[in-house]
Amino acid sequence: MNRREFVQSIAAAVMVPAGRRQELSANEWGSSVFDLHFHLRAQTASNLAHLDGAGVTKANLLTRGAALEQVQALQAAAPGRFTWFNSYDVTKSDAENILTQAVKAGAQGFGELKFHVAADGPELRRIYALAADLRVPILIHFQEVDHFPDEGTWSTGFAKTFESVLKGYPKTTFIGHADAFWANVSADYRNEAAYPTGPIKRGGLTDKWLGDYPNLFADMSANSGNNAMSRDSEFTADFLTRHQDKLLFGSDCACVDGHGAGVSQNNNPAAARMAGKCVARETLSLMKRSSSPAIFQKIVWGNVHKLLRIPA
C-alpha cells in the first residue's frame, strides 16, 4: 500500500460513524467496553485494528514521555474513543513537571508507572502526592518475580508496604496492576511465582485492601489479572460481586488484530498460556461467564467513566 492509499484507508475507517461502531461492540459483548490498559501503538490504524477486532468501544492510551501529537492525531481520527494517561521516569528530577504538563494538556491520569523503585520509596511518593493535587488516578505495575533473566522487579514491596501508602495518601486514587497485585488475592502467596495457580486461599491482601480502602481500584489487565480470575471459579464470582464498583477492565494486549495474531504478552515467557490468544477477548469472556450482566457492565464500562469523570 502506498502512502496515498494508506491515508485513504484511514479516511474510510473514520467514515464509519462512532455510534454505529459502538452498536457493533455492544452487540458482541452485551455491553460497550472500555479498555483501561491499552499501550499507544505507533500507527493510527494499528490502534483501531485492536479495538475493532476485540469489540472494544473506547480505550485509555498508556503513553510515556512526549506523546501529545500522536494522541491528538488518534483522537482526531476516532473522536470520542480515546482517553490517555502519561508516564515518565520517576527517578528523573523533572518528572513532576513533565507529568503536570501532560495533565494540563489533557491526560486523565498517570500510568502506567513501571520503574525499578520501591512502592513506598521517595521517587514514587512525590508522584502519589502530585496525583492527589491534580486529582488524577495513578496506575502502578507491581512485580516481584522476573519474567526473564535479570529483568528486575517493579514497584517493589507491595505486600509488605503498600497498605501504609494507601493510608498515607488517602486523597490519591490508586489503580493496582500486574503480577504482585493479582497474586496477592490469595492469602498464601509469598512471591514464589509470577503467576501462581490452584485454588485461592481466602483473605488475600489485595482482596482485603480493595474492601478496606476507598482509594484503591483494580486494573484487570494482562495475564496477571486473567490468571488470578481463572484459578477458582467460586472465588471469582464472589470477588467480582464483592468489588463490583472497584474493578476496571483492561487488556494490556499486544496482539495485532484483537483475535490473538502476533504476540499478546511481550517479553513474557511465563505468560505462555496467552500465546495465540487476545487477552482482551479472554478476559471479557471470563468475566462475562463469571458475573451478572449488570456487574459485567460496571466492570467493563460504568466504573471507569465514574473514575475518570467522563460521560459514558
The number of residues that bind Zn ion (CB under 5 A) is 6
What beta strand segments (E) does 131-178 contain? Answer: 138-141, 174-177
- Given a contact cutoff of 8 angstroms between Cβ atoms, the answer to whether 33 and 55 are in contact is yes
107 in contact with Zn ion (CB under 5 A): no
Q: Does 40 bind Zn ion (CB under 5 A)?
A: no
The Cα–Cα gap between 66 and 130 comes to 19
H or E segment to which residue 140 belongs: strand 138-141
Q: Which of residues 56 and 102 has its CB atom nearest to Zn ion in the complex?
A: 56
Closest distance of CB 284 from Zn ion, Å: 10
- Per CB under 5 A, does 298 bind Zn ion? no
The window from 10-18, 24-32, 133-141, 236-244 that contacts Zn ion (CB under 5 A) reads: 133-141
Q: How far is the CB of 266 from Zn ion (least distance, A)?
A: 10
Question: Do the Cβ atoms of 77 and 14 come closer than 8 Å?
Answer: yes
CB 209 within 8 Å of CB 162: yes
Residue 138 within binding range of Zn ion, rule CB under 5 A: no
Is residue 240 at the binding interface for Zn ion, with CB under 5 A as the rule? no
| 255 near Zn ion, rule: CB under 5 A | yes
Q: Check residue 243 for interaction with Zn ion (CB under 5 A).
A: no
Nearer to Zn ion, 107 or 178 (CB): 178
SS3 86: strand
Grid cell 505507533 in the structure block, residue: 42
Q: Does 246 bind Zn ion (CB under 5 A)?
A: no
Cell of 113: 508507572
Phi, psi of 141 (to 5 degrees): -95, 115
Q: Is the peptide bond before 234 cis (omega within 30 degrees of 0)?
A: no
- 274 near Zn ion (CB under 5 A): no
Q: Amino acid identity of 249?
A: F
Does 81 participate in binding Zn ion (rule CB under 5 A)? no
Is 74 a residue that touches Zn ion (CB under 5 A)? no
Shortest CB 198 distance to Zn ion, Å: 24
**How many whole angstroms from its chain centre is CA 290?**
20
Span near Zn ion by CB under 5 A; candidates 41-49, 94-102, 144-152, 246-254: 246-254
C-alpha cell at 48: 483501531
33 makes contact with Zn ion (CB under 5 A): no
Selected from 253, 274, 295, 308, the binder of Zn ion by CB under 5 A is 253
Nearer Cβ to Zn ion (21/141): 141
Q: Provide CB contacts within 8 A for 110, sequence distance 6+.
A: 85, 86, 87, 99, 127, 130, 131, 136, 137, 138, 139
Question: Should residue 78 be labelled a site residue for Zn ion when binding is judged by CB under 5 A?
Answer: no
Residue 110 is a binding residue for Zn ion (CB under 5 A): no
C-alpha cell at 298: 460496571
Site string for Zn ion, 175-204 (x = CB under 5 A): ---x--------------------------
The answer to whether 58 contacts Zn ion (rule: CB under 5 A) is: no
Is 278 near Zn ion (CB under 5 A)?
yes
Instruction: Return the H-helix or E-strand segment holding 61.
Output: strand 58-64
For binding to Zn ion (CB under 5 A), which residues are involved?
141, 178, 253, 255, 278, 280
